[in-house]
């Protein structure tokens, strides 16, 4: 029996690595992986030659240039250029070399800063984006539209099926813990761990602690990616539209930053207090995406936040011990 050759672009990142872990548990899969030093996805000729030689059956496009607030504010040109270049190079090369199925991985930052909650897929392009990550969000929106445009023009003639999935805030093993570039969960894990080791009396958290956020464990998302790719084509396009074909994926519940901080402090076993610096910005008060479409397709998340946070902290400890 011939094995499906699946190319995971960005397999060293948190999401890509999780997708690889998922596929390694499956049979009849031939994983195609390339490190950045061996394949520069911003180089059109290199990407084209790679696809021409390897001829993958499916592509999971998880490669992206990602950063936190510091990166977004200081390197907006790098962010939009590299992400747009990677996306168009990979998607176009996939098409030119006969790839029928491709999944583009996006981000919930594509939605307007001010919009109705929970956020439905059709809210895309209905308002202004969050300014701090606008370049990255625009690149991700472009990725969705590239897939949709190829489907509209070549879907019937070339039998291609390029889909897009938009996750809520992801976390898990392989996350980035650099305080200038990381997101809230890895930042809090590092802060509480370092405070515990140094016996600090308190940990300072930015803002009031009242904003609500939704989180999804990365292994949940990896399963969702595979599930979405294997939904029957007729069923998938019956429930989506040609120019609104992306699908949200989230846990379906949110919590305050204050409750998140308290949960992480318990997992880390930090005994000090938590202080909130109310002079620092809170950001959007609430951000919860509507995952009802994905649930209608039959998928649901299975990992609870407490479990995911413990696994993430275990991963952080392993990383810290390797650096010692």
Kindly give the confidence (pLDDT) of every residue in the chain, 324 residues in length, as a single tens digit, with 9 standing for 90 and above: 668 999 999 999 999 999 999 999 988 899 999 999 999 999 999 999 999 999 999 999 999 998 777 778 889 999 999 999 999 999 999 999 999 999 999 999 999 999 999 999 999 999 999 988 899 999 999 999 999 999 999 999 999 999 999 999 999 999 988 877 778 999 999 999 999 999 999 999 989 999 999 999 999 999 999 999 999 999 999 999 999 999 999 999 999 999 999 999 999 999 999 999 999 888 788 999 999 999 999 999 999 999 999 999 999 999 988 764
Q: Give the β-pairing of 29-32 and 169-171.
A: unpaired
Residue 70: what pLDDT? 75
Distance CA 133, CA 130 (A): 6
Name the superfamily (CATH) of residues 4-323: NAD(P)-binding Rossmann-like Domain (3.40.50.720)
Alpha helices in the chain (DSSP H): 14-24, 44-54, 69-74, 76-96, 134-158, 184-197, 218-229, 233-239, 257-268, 292-296, 305-323
237 is annotated as an active-site residue: no
Distance CA 10, CA 174 (A): 12
Whether the CB-CB separation of 63 and 9 falls below 8 Å is answered with: yes
Helices first, then strands: H and E counts in the chain: 11, 12
Residue 1: what pLDDT? 61
User: Which residue in the list 7, 71, 111, 136 is annotated as catalytic?
Assistant: 136
Q: Sketch the domain layout of the chain as residue ranges.
A: 4-323
In DSSP terms, which residues pair with 230 in a beta bridge?
A: none
pTM: 0.94
> Each residue of 250-302: pLDDT tens digit?
999 999 999 999 999 999 999 999 999 999 888 788 999 999 999 999 999 99
Whether the CB-CB separation of 294 and 248 falls below 8 Å is answered with: yes
């Amino acid at each position: 029996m011939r094995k499906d050759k699946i190319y995971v672009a960005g397999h060293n990142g948190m999401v890509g690595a999780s997708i690889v872990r998922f596929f390694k548990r499956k049979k009849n899969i031939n994983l195609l992986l390339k490190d950045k030093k061996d394949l520069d996805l911003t180089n059109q000729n290199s990407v084209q030659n790679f696809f021409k030689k390897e001829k993958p059956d499916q592509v999971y496009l998880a490669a992206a240039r990602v950063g936190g607030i510091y990166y977004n504010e200081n390197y907006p040109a790098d962010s939009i250029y590299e992400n747009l270049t990677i996306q168009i190079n990979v998607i176009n090369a996939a098409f030119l070399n006969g790839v029928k199925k491709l999944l583009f991985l996006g981000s919930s930052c594509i939605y307007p800063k001010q919009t109705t909650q929970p956020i439905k897929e059709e809210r895309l392009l209905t308002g202004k984006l969050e300014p701090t990550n606008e370049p990255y969000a625009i690149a991700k929106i472009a990725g969705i539209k590239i897939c949709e445009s190829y489907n509209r023009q070549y879907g019937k003639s070339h039998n291609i099926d390029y889909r897009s999935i938009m996750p809520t805030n992801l976390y898990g093993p392989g996350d980035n813990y650099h305080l200038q570039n990381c997101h809230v969960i890895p930042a809090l894990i590092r802060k509480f761990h370092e405070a515990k080791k140094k016996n600090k009396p308190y940990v300072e958290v930015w803002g009031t602690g009242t904003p609500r956020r939704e989180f999804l464990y990365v292994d949940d998302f990896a399963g969702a990616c595979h599930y979405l790719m294997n939904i029957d084509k007729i069923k998938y396009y019956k429930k989506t539209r040609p120019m609104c074909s992306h699908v949200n994926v989230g846990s379906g519940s949110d919590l305050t930053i204050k409750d998140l901080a308290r949960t992480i402090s318990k997992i880390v076993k930090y005994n000090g207090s938590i202080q909130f610096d109310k002079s620092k910005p809170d950001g959007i008060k609430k951000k919860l995406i509507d995952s009802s479409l994905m649930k209608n397709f039959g998928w649901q998340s299975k990992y609870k936040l407490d479990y995911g946070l413990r696994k993430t902290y275990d991963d952080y400890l392993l990383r810290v011990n390797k650096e010692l």
